[in-house]
Structure 1
Amino acid sequence: MPGTSRAGDVPPPAPDSAASDSSAPDSAVFLGVRHHSPACARLVGRAIEALRPAYVLVEGPADMNDRLDELLLGHRLPVAVFSHYRDETRVATSWAPLCDYSPEWIALREGHASGAEVRFIDLPSWHPAFAERADRHTNRYADAEARYAQATRRLCAHFAVDSVDALWDGLFEVTAPDDGPDDLRARLDAYFDLVRGDAEADAGDRAREEYMASWVRAAVARAGQRPVLVVTGGFHQPALRALSYRSSGRGEGESDRPSAWPEVPTPPDGALGGSFLVPYSFRQLDAFAGYQSGMPSPGYYQQLWEGGPQAAAQGLLRSVAERLRTRRIPVSTADLIAARSLAQGLALMRGHPYESRVDVLDGLAGALISDDLEQPLPWSGRGTLGAGSHPVVVEMVAACAGDTEGRLHPDTPLPPLVHDVAGQLARLGLADADEPVTFDLTAEAGLARSRVLHRLRVLGIPGFTRVSGPADGADPVFTERWEPGPASGREAALIEAG
């Protein structure tokens, strides 16, 4: 049946050739995950509880290892590790987002709570291994899906689904209630072995995998008879397993002593680089907004994480209805009944034990949209919303994303610019402005306020918009008017600008 998600429908994982290798570190347990997958996050939590590992190794920037306590301060998620680098020839920035249902976050939190030593094991985000990822929306968790697009297309055709996300939901997120952790892990191993195949990674990913494997070997040497849990993107898992079983050779920065932790690269002389935590939001996480990795519709997956698939389906229907009514788009009770009936019918036809995200969205579209659509429904593929998208579709996508915004704990270290701007806005009476402000540019006080807001404008910091004033230095206009707007993202923008 289309969308069937039973374990027997996926080929079994390839035999682990290293299992018979006398030099293999039998205490290393590899969990390949999809970033921001509730199912994978639960699997990580259960693995830590069952294994009680000595070390939990997580795909993440190793230069943050001395500052892991910052991540555990009690932030409101989502937050991200923002990394920056600049030298005479290259400027690079990247984000490593974490939300409640990120497997990496669960590994960090639950590993720490269990008494394990937690380490990030990937190269720093500024490293040349990430040099090809220079786009503004780039994040370090982009696992190069283009290289295994052919395998996922074949899987989509086999399961009769339109997109990788619908395929993933049917196989892993919305599964039968009797599926246990072992069933899930077997399917994950099979899936990642298939999509990685024998394709060779690019030079950047090869360098990252060599480096991560050196951390695994060091942890196994230090752990004695206790297990080591390794949590990385599933794309890397097959290569990491093979590299970690290697009996000789050393990765980048690895010491001659097998139990010594690998060296963490530092920026070369004359370069500037570093990392800070920044607030993040569900809108930034959403694949429909341009996020390259992880899951679309983070608001839906938050509900899936908190309440399970049935509650998430009902919550999604409710969220869409509330948003459409707020936007004064008519949605009657009869429409919602029709949408629910369609979603349930689609789930039954597709072999889903519960209504999936796509089942609910398809049901809503069928009940609410009577016009001819000029383009395919966005959840039938991946990418941003195109121009001319139907208004109902736009609001449905926004409802799926949710409006959750992260907040850093007050004790989080921040660059000086954040404190300087906060101090200047408070001193000038602009910190809590909620109405338009007009400045007399012939007075020192008005000129000082204008200068600060113009500096923020040049840096691209949200919060104020200039609506009137002199067009240039020769324009005989001596007043300037600014309107306060949503300050969402101001702190993150200041951190990045700093």
Structure 2
Amino acid sequence: MAVTFVGVRHHSPACARLVRRTIETLRPAYVLVEGPADYGDRLEELLLGHEPPIAIFSHHRDGPLVRTSWSPLCAHSPEWVALNAGRACGAELRFIDLPAWHPALADRRNRYADAEERYAAVTRRLCREFTVDDTDVLWDHLFEVPDDADLAERLDAYFDLVRGESAAGPDDAAREEYMARWIRAADAAAGGRPVVVVTGGFHTPALRALAAEPGDGRWPEVPAPPEGSVGGSFLVPFSFPRLDSFSGYQSGMPSPEYYHRLWEHGPQRAADGLTEVVVERLRRRGVTVSTADLIAARTLTEGLARLRGHRHPARTDLLDGLVSALVTEDLEDPLPWSSRGPLRPGAHPVVAEMVAALSGDRVGRLHPGTPAPPLVEQVIAELERLGLDGADPVTLRLTDGGDLERSRLLHRLRVLGVPGFGRESGPATGTEEVLEERWTLRPGEHRLPALIEAGAYGATPADAAMAALEERAAGALGDAAALAGVLFDAAFCGCGELADRIAGSIAAGIAASPDIGALGRVLDTMLALWRHDRVLGLAGGPLPAVVIERCVTRLLWLVEGLHGGPAPAEPARLSAMAAVRDALLHAAEGVGLDRAAAVAVAARVSADPQAPPDLRGAAFGLCWSLGRTADPARAMLGVASPRTLGDWLAGLFALAREQVLAAEETGGRSVLTVLDELIGGLTAEEFLVALPALRQAFGYFPPREREIIARRLLDLRGVRGSARSLLRTTADPVTVAEATLLEETVDRLLTEEGLMSG
């Protein structure tokens, strides 16, 4: 077998140098690279002359589920170098890994993200042996800074050691078996000429063994996606910030700008150049950095490199030297390069600038002839047609047909996460008085990558936005607030006519939500849209009808199952009950609600002694507001405890305030009459217990109606006076009640001690 295996660490300049040297020396017949095999027949597209970093963006959609994956490539990626060096020497190029949609890669958003946890034990031991902080520092110490004299042997020893202590899981095993079939086929087709295989070093020991097994010598088939699903791959511009582990990407190498300079100029010039970049960045931020500070930074960097046995400064030599020279105060947190992961919030600003300088801000560019998904051309044409391709602020009146069309396009792009379209203000629903939006348009270099990636969802802005909303709805199971966001975005995107595609996910999400308050807010808003929407096309529509019906059903089920002792009334669940009332009053026939069944549920809750008092009152009020004959005075006597009375009244007033006031017009034994008697019979201590909840309950009446109640109370006492002045007392009622209780307590103690005079 004339196969040469080059195990690499993704995005490593040292590995890239080894790959280039190996291919130029061997001039192989085939160069096989770890990459998506379904992109193999389009490798010429990858070599059109792009400016990296770029990535192969793969997507797969199966129903509402959309999976996406990236295979990023920069100038110093071994895979990128292998493809270009192989092409230069006339080799045939192949990608040999499973497609991104395959179950073996289902949990990997990035093909080239190293999973160090697979070999954490051995790398921890090596870090202890070499007295370094983490895998990144260890890698630089072993491979990036030393010369390349015996690099291949050192890499083989390292990866053999790593793989020797790590068993491959079923996902890695499936990928390695598939790649080995490509290697055996290439070896057979090469007819004795060399074959070079470039894969992640973790796979290399296993591939050597698997490739030596007998095979039929036929090229493997590229697996097809499951029937009924759709997918594809496109090139996208990538960026160094997206590639950096300090930004959250589990990259093969952090600080990509440092390694780019290391690849182009070597470690010494990389360190010198980035020292100047850090100083320039700090000076632009107003941080004083003197020439002496610059000299000190370089001196400390060189000193640390020599102390650590490096001929030239490594990445952490540079960072440690800079922080020693430029940060004068103590740092509370560990330095961010001492471990892998995103930069922590609140990092020292000088440290943050160092990390940003070594991360870099390079953004790749695609060759003008690069194919793009249909969505890109559609969006560009639509923006131009609607006059939204500029950078000026835009004001849109949603009652104007042309402006409404512009608004829907902008909302679709917002839903798809395309940058450069910021909604500064606008209505939350279609029922507001002012239906005007203000948008800020900011074209930029990040728009194209986002559009290409959004192409995974569909070929047109409307289809893509709807698919993205379907995915959000499916992922928001049980989260009523998130489902509400999906609903409103669908309305503003003009996707109401596609309700059937999303109604199932919405209904399932509502059926799983345990949040009474959130469901009530969704119901209230969707009822308003169903009844009064003037712009978004939802009035009387099927989507809000489904939401209303499911919310009412779910809320009544939740309320009937809620039990608990006395507790403060919860305005959120009382608002939800009020929304149920409004839906039953105004939409029962239109959306298929069963009023009789709802009244039966409410009657059971109102009579349930285990139900919270506020819900018992609300349930009674729901029955009353829906026309069921009721005796509120009798019901109130059943919850007359000072600890429950106010909460029960809060529920009653939240649902049946109008009925309470109307009953006062008839005279007789009304709610206020019975309440006045009950309060009159309370001791000062009991009244103080009941007062907060009573105040909360009467807060459901607006000022004009409170004046009616005050006049009624004056009439009950036969007192003539101004009801309005009764409401304008300057004393705090709680203070008055506490003072009354204090007076009663003092009188009682004096009496008990025989100190009260006759």
TM-score, normalized by length of structure 2? 0.59
Cα distance, 1:228 vs. partner?
A: 0.4
C-alpha contact (below 8 Å) 1:347/1:355 kept by paired residues: yes
Q: AA paired with 2:68?
A: T
C-alpha change, 1:89 and 1:466, in structure 2 (3 Å) is: closer
> Within 5 A, what are the aligned runs for 1:401-480?
401-433=359-391, 435-480=392-437
Match of 1:48 in 2: 23
Match of 1:122 in 2: 97
Match of 2:145 in 1: 174
2:159 equivalent to 1:203: no
Cα distance, 1:90 vs. partner?
A: 5.2
343-352 vs 318-327, greater mean Cα deviation: 318-327
368-377 vs 300-309, greater mean Cα deviation: 368-377
2:156 equivalent to 1:189: yes
Give the 3-state SS of the residue equivalent to 2:266 in structure 1: helix
C-alpha contact (below 8 Å) 1:462/1:488 kept by paired residues: no
Cα deviation per residue 1:174-206 (whole Å; 9 max; x = unaligned)? 114xx42xx000110011111111421110000
Cα distance, 1:486 vs. partner?
A: 5.7
Output the CA distance in 2 between the equivalents of 1:288 and 1:453.
Answer: 32
Output the CA distance in 2 between the equivalents of 1:310 and 1:322.
Answer: 19
Give the 3-state SS of the residue equivalent to 1:81 in structure 2: strand
Output the CA distance in 1 between the equivalents of 2:434 and 2:270.
Answer: 56
Match of 1:146 in 2: 117
Match of 2:617 in 1: none
Output the CA distance in 1 between the equivalents of 2:420 and 2:114.
Answer: 34
468-477 vs 65-74, greater mean Cα deviation: 468-477
Match of 1:109 in 2: 84
Match of 1:356 in 2: 314
Match of 1:35 in 2: 10
Q: AA paired with 2:336?
A: P
448-457 vs 103-112, greater mean Cα deviation: 448-457
Output the CA distance in 2 between the equivalents of 1:92 and 1:415.
Answer: 16
Q: AA paired with 2:372?
A: L
Output the CA distance in 2 between the equivalents of 1:234 and 1:159.
Answer: 21
Match of 1:5 in 2: none
Give the 3-state SS of the residue equivalent to 1:68 in structure 2: helix
Output the CA distance in 2 between the equivalents of 1:106 and 1:467.
Answer: 45
C-alpha contact (below 8 Å) 1:143/1:235 kept by paired residues: no
> Within 5 A, what are the aligned runs for 1:380-391?
380-391=338-349
Output the CA distance in 2 between the equivalents of 1:294 and 1:489.
Answer: 23
Output the CA distance in 1 between the equivalents of 2:398 and 2:444.
Answer: 25
C-alpha contact (below 8 Å) 2:390/2:443 kept by paired residues: no
Output the CA distance in 2 between the equivalents of 1:394 and 1:457.
Answer: 30
Cα distance, 1:87 vs. partner?
A: 2.1
Match of 2:237 in 1: 279
Output the CA distance in 2 between the equivalents of 1:78 and 1:168.
Answer: 22
TM-score, normalized by length of structure 1? 0.89
Match of 1:158 in 2: 129
Cα distance, 1:62 vs. partner?
A: 0.4
Output the CA distance in 2 between the equivalents of 1:315 and 1:164.
Answer: 25
Give the 3-state SS of the residue equivalent to 1:354 in structure 2: coil
Give the 3-state SS of the residue equivalent to 2:343 in structure 1: coil
> Within 5 A, what are the aligned runs for 1:53-68?
53-68=28-43
Greater C-alpha Rg: 2
Give the 3-state SS of the residue equivalent to 2:157 in structure 1: helix
Cα distance, 1:285 vs. partner?
A: 0.4
Q: AA paired with 1:246?
A: E
Where structure 2 has 5 or more consecutive residues not aligned to the other structure, the ranges are 456-758
Cα deviation per residue 1:40-93 (whole Å; 9 max; x = unaligned)? 111111111100100000000000111001101111111101111222585421
2:259 equivalent to 1:318: no
2:51 equivalent to 1:93: no
Q: AA paired with 2:193?
A: R
Output the CA distance in 2 between the equivalents of 1:207 and 1:332.
Answer: 57
C-alpha change, 1:84 and 1:403, in structure 2 (3 Å) is: same
**Paired residue for 1:240, among 193, 196, 207?**
207
Cα distance, 1:483 vs. partner?
A: 1.6
Which is richer in strand? Answer: 1
Q: AA paired with 1:436?
A: P
Match of 1:10 in 2: none
Cα deviation per residue 1:14-44 (whole Å; 9 max; x = unaligned)? xxxxxxxxxxx2x000000111011111111
C-alpha contact (below 8 Å) 2:51/2:365 kept by paired residues: yes
Give the 3-state SS of the residue equivalent to 1:93 in structure 2: strand
Give the 3-state SS of the residue equivalent to 1:370 in structure 2: coil
Output the CA distance in 2 between the equivalents of 1:90 and 1:471.
Answer: 28
Cα distance, 1:403 vs. partner?
A: 0.7
Cα distance, 1:259 vs. partner?
A: 2.8
Count of residues in correspondence between the two structures: 455
Q: AA paired with 1:85?
A: H
Cα deviation per residue 1:95-123 (whole Å; 9 max; x = unaligned)? 00001111000111110111000100000
Cα deviation per residue 1:304-340 (whole Å; 9 max; x = unaligned)? 1111111101111111111112222222222111111
C-alpha contact (below 8 Å) 2:119/2:165 kept by paired residues: no
Give the 3-state SS of the residue equivalent to 1:125 in structure 2: coil
Cα deviation per residue 1:256-301 (whole Å; 9 max; x = unaligned)? xx33210110101112222111111000000111111311001111
Give the 3-state SS of the residue equivalent to 1:362 in structure 2: helix
RMSD: 1.5
Output the CA distance in 2 between the equivalents of 1:399 and 1:459.
Answer: 30
Tell me which of the two structures has the higher relative contact order, counting C-alpha pairs closer than 8 angstroms and 6 or more residues apart. 1
Output the CA distance in 1 between the equivalents of 2:426 and 2:290.
Answer: 47
C-alpha contact (below 8 Å) 1:95/1:139 kept by paired residues: yes
Give the 3-state SS of the residue equivalent to 1:413 in structure 2: coil
Give the 3-state SS of the residue equivalent to 1:92 in structure 2: strand
C-alpha contact (below 8 Å) 1:170/1:356 kept by paired residues: yes
Cα deviation per residue 1:430-470 (whole Å; 9 max; x = unaligned)? 2132x322233343433332222111111111012111222
C-alpha contact (below 8 Å) 2:176/2:206 kept by paired residues: yes
C-alpha contact (below 8 Å) 1:210/1:243 kept by paired residues: yes
Output the CA distance in 2 between the equivalents of 1:146 and 1:58.
Answer: 24
Q: AA paired with 1:454?
A: H
Output the CA distance in 2 between the equivalents of 1:101 and 1:165.
Answer: 16
Q: AA paired with 1:408?
A: L
Match of 2:301 in 1: 343
167-176 vs 351-360, greater mean Cα deviation: 167-176
C-alpha change, 1:114 and 1:222, in structure 2 (3 Å) is: same
**Paired residue for 1:288, among 237, 246, 251?**
246
Q: AA paired with 1:371?
A: E
Q: AA paired with 1:171?
A: L
Which is richer in helix? Answer: 2
Q: AA paired with 1:277?
A: L
Match of 2:755 in 1: none
Cα distance, 1:215 vs. partner?
A: 0.5
C-alpha contact (below 8 Å) 1:374/1:388 kept by paired residues: no
C-alpha contact (below 8 Å) 2:181/2:211 kept by paired residues: yes
Q: AA paired with 1:186?
A: E
